[in-house]
Structure 1
Amino acid sequence: MADWGPVFVSVVLFILLTPGLLIQIPGRGRMVEFGNFQTSVVSILVHAILYFALICIFLLAIGIHMYMGS
């Protein structure tokens, strides 16, 4: 059986943490901006670090597993 947990967690976090799509930390005018569709190098680095940290927590520390049975 295939373990779909890492795939699901990675896709969801990628969608949620894409800079400028839903939220941007730090924003151009404020610390947090919502849905502005603009990014900066700093926000890309912050979101990449958050993505890496959350992937490590969810996949390594908690160990999320999802199995599809047929």
Structure 2
Amino acid sequence: MADWGAVIMAVVLFVLLTPGLLFQLPGRNRIVEFGGFQTSGVCILVHSLVFFGLISIFLLAVGVHVYVGS
């Protein structure tokens, strides 16, 4: 059986944490902007650190597993 938990969590977090798609942290005019579709180098760095923290928590601490196959 294949464990797809890491792949599914990584894809979901990547889509949700894409800078400028749902929110942008830090924003250009405010600390948090929603739906701006703009990004900067600092924003990419912050979102990648948040991604790393969340994927570490979900995979190591919580232990998300999705088994597919026979």
- Map Cα deviations across residues 5-45 of structure 1 (whole Å, 9 max, x no partner): 00110000000000001110000010100111100111100
Equivalence for 1:42: 42
Question: Size of the alignment, in residue pairs?
Answer: 70
Equivalence for 2:24: 24
Give the share of equivalent positions with the same residue, in percent.
Answer: 69
1:1-70 counterparts in 2 under 5 A?
Answer: 1-70=1-70
What is the Cα deviation at residue 69 of structure 1?
A: 3.5
- 3-state SS of 2:3 partner: coil
- 3-state SS of 2:54 partner: helix
Aligned-CA RMSD value: 0.8
- 3-state SS of 2:39 partner: coil
- 3-state SS of 2:51 partner: helix
CA distance in 2, matches of 1:53, 1:46: 11
- 3-state SS of 1:44 partner: helix
Gaps of 5+ in 2: none
Detail structure 1 runs of 4+ shifted over 2 Å in the superposition. none
Gaps of 5+ in 1: none
